[in-house]
Structure 1
Amino acid sequence: MSLPFRKMNGLGNDFVVLDARAKPLAISEAQARAIADRKTGIGCDQLIVLERSPVADVRMRIWNAEGGEVPSCGNASRCIADLVFDEKQAEIATIETKGGMLTAKKAGTHLVTIDQGKPKFGWKDIPLSEAFPDTRHIELQIGPIDKPLLHSPSVVNVGNPHCIFWVDDLDVVDFAKVGPMIENHPMFPERANISLAKVVARDHVLLKVWERGAGLTQACGTAACATMAAGHRIKIIDAKCKITLPGGDLLMAVNEDNGHILMTGPAALDFEGTLPEGLL
C-alpha cells in the first residue's frame, strides 16, 4: 500500500505527517520507529497521524522517534493547525489530542498561535512518584551533594510532564549524557521532558531541551509552554516572553484571566512524498 506523507517542521523540530481521516491507520511502535529512523526511514522527531474527530476539526496522534505514543506536541500542533487553516480557508482551527483540546489562531503567513490550555502543577497530575505539596521547586539534584550542577527544578504538566532546571549556563552539564538520566529518573513514573532554562531578562529566556523519547531537539513547543508557566508562577518571567531555542524563537504569553498558556511560532511544510514499501 502506497501512503502519501508530508514532512513538516516547527523551528527545526520535524515531523512525518500521515492522513488517516479517509481510511483508519494502525501504527505500531516498531512502525513509528522505522518511519522516524533518519538512516533507513523518512526521519523525524515525531510521527503524526491525523484522524477524524467528533469534537474538533481534526484529531492528532503523536509518536516519538523511539516509538512510544505521547499526548502532546506543541510544534506539531502549529503545523497541523496551519494545514487545517488551508483546508478550511479559515483562521481558527481546533485540534483534539490525548493531552487535551487545543484552539489555534492564524497569526500571519505560516505563523500560528496555539492555546495550550491551563498547566497542571499538582504532583499527582505531573505525575511524580512522591508527594510534593509545592512543585515550584522539588528536591532533585545532579552532581556533587555539596555543590550540585543542577538542582531544585520546577515541574509542570502541559500535556506532557516537564522538569525545568533554572541555570546561569546552558552548558553547565553534558546534556546529551545527563538528559536521558533525568528523563528516566524514578521521580518521573511516566518519564519527563527535561529543560535547562537561562533567564536573560524578564521577557527573554534561552532554552535547551532533552525531549522524552526523542532526545536533544532543535525546539520543543510544550517545553516552551512549561517554562513559561513555571517561570511566571515563580515570578521570574513576565506575562509575555520570548523563548529562544536552538531552532529559533517562540513568543509566549500567559492569559492572566484564565491561566492558559499561549504559544506563537512558525509552521513549515518541507516536502511531500510516498512512504516506501516496508515502512508500514
Structure 2
Amino acid sequence: MSTQSQIDYNRIAKAIEYIQSNFKLQPSLEEVAEKIHLSPTHFQKIFTDWAGTSPKKFLQFISLEHAKGLLKEEKLSIFDAAFETGFSSTSRLHDLFVKIEGMSPAEYKNGGKSLVINYNFSESPFGNIIVASTEKGICHLAFENDKETALGNLKTQFPNASFFEKQDELQKNALSIFNKDWNRLNTVKLHLKGTDFQLKVWESLLSIPMGKLSTYGSLAEKINSPKAYRAVGTAIGSNPVAFLIPCHRVIQSSGNLGGYHWGSDRKQLIIGWEGSHTSN
C-alpha cells in the first residue's frame, strides 16, 4: 500500500472508530472530519473513494441495530438459502467461488516438509497483506504491515516448508476477490492445514452471504454441533485465510460485532464495505 493510501486508510479507520463510539449522538460529517483533521469536502471524497458510498450510508452497515436486523433475517431463511440462489446475485459469487481442500495428514504433521510455498506482499482495501500459496491453492492470507513479522508468522505455521517470494496465478486470482465485479472471478482454491472440525467450520463460513451476518450458535447448528459453539469460536479464531474465509461475518447473538483476529476496527470496516457494495 502506498504511503498516501495507508494514511487515508488510517484516517478512515480512525473516523469509523470515532463514529462507533459516538453513534447515538449521530455526529455530523463536519464533526467527524474535524476529529481526523480534514475538511468535510476532503473527508467525504477519500471516504467515498474507499467505500464506494457516503459516510452516512456506510454507517448503517456497522450499526448495532442493522446487525440485529440481519440476524433476524438469518434466523428466518437467509443462511440456508445462500447456495440455493445460485448465481442470481453477484454479491454472492464472492463465496460461491471459494473452494477448500485440506492438506494430507503427512503435510499436516510434518510442518509442510514437502511443500513449496510462494508468498508475496500486496495491498487490499483494508490494509497491507501477505498471501501465500502451494501448488494446490492459497494456504495463508493475513493483514500485516510489517513484512518481517508477516513472514515470520507464515513460517511458524509451516516450519519445514521451502519458501520463495514470488507472486503466482493462484495469488493473483485470489486477490482479485477485492474487486467489485465478481462475475469475472475464477474459482479461488484454498489448500489449508486444519483438523476435520476446523475445515468443517471454515467451509460453513462460506455459506454466509456477502453483506449478511451470522452467529457462533448458528454456525454450530449448521454443522450439527449445537453445543459446540465455543469450539466453533476457537476454530473461527484460527482461520488462516483472512477475508476469503469470511470469519468477519460472525458476530455475537446480541448484535455486537465482537472480536476479530486482525482487529475489531478492521472487522467493522470490512462489514461496512461489504454491506455498502452489496446494496448497490
Q: TM-score, normalised by structure 2?
A: 0.32
Q: Larger RCO: Structure 1 or Structure 2 (Cα < 8 Å, ≥ 6 residues apart)?
A: 2
Q: TM-score, normalised by structure 1?
A: 0.32
**Which has the larger strand fraction?**
1
